Amino acid sequence: MRISHTELETCLGNPPNWYVAVRTASSHGYKMGYERALRLTIFHYHKTSAAEARQYLDKMVKKHNFKNAARVTEIENGLESYIHWVESESLKVADTRIKITLPVGFLELRGEVGRVDVTAAGYRAVLLSQPPLDWQRQLRMPLIQAAIGAMYGRPPDKIAVGFQELDGSNLETVVYGRRQISAAEQRFRLLGETVRQLSKPRHKV
């Protein structure tokens, strides 16, 4: 059974509630908001150029009829700040919008990683959003590290994982050791067993 890395902490906190929510949820796609527009523009920037990214964002604002002038200015400034950071760092990007897959027992971790960078130590997988306060303790992080390592054919300890704000600020990363990754996979496997039991049909007596 597939589970997005963004849902993993919710599932850990209450597997039955998560399972019911997944079974009853209907897919309506993603609503286009200011933050999502900026994130998509950043991906477009890495595939094209700064000039084309600016044009792309302008088209997004008009297409989706964004009316909050302050928020529009905020994401425009965010894009400029992000571009400045990339250029000042001479950033080497391996890929963007990476779809991860990590099957461990009954559950298969899925989801998107915003950007993977090439660094002197190996690779750096970055989730482009404001980091949760306890992100380093979240189960998904060492699992993402393992997934990216497998995808790029590198030992997991050569992969850093972390978060970065959409304006290019506050890049925070960590590298989990092999024991930490192994422990995370075991915990994920046990969670899968719990979910598997929930998925079994219950017969009325």
What residues have CB less than 8 Å from 97, skipping those under 6 apart? 43, 112, 113, 114
SS3 202: coil
Contact 117, 94 (CB under 8 A): yes
Extract the tokens encoding 203. Answer: 């017969």
Give the model confidence (pLDDT) of 146-169 as tens digits: 999 999 999 988 999 999 999 999
203 pLDDT above the threshold of 70: no
pLDDT greater than 60 at residue 58: yes
Report how far residue 152's alpha carbon sits from residue 176's, in angstroms, rounded to the nearest whole number.
17
The fraction of the chain above a pLDDT of 90, given in percent, is: 90
Mean pLDDT lowest among 25-29, 102-106, 127-131, 162-166: 25-29
DSSP 87-142: HHHT--EEEEEEEEEEEETTEEEEEEEEEEEE-SSSEEEEEESPPPTTGGG-THHH
pLDDT in tens, 68-110: 999 999 999 999 999 999 999 999 999 999 999 999 999 999 9
Per-domain boundaries in the chain: 2-24+92-199, 34-89
Averaged over 58-73, what is the pLDDT?
96
pTM across the whole model: 0.93
Task: Dump pLDDT digits (tens) for 9-20.
Answer: 999 999 999 999
- CA triple 171-175-179, angle to 5 deg: 155
Residue 27 scores a pLDDT above 90: no
Strands 159-164 and 172-174, how do they pair? Answer: antiparallel
pLDDT mean over 115-141:
96
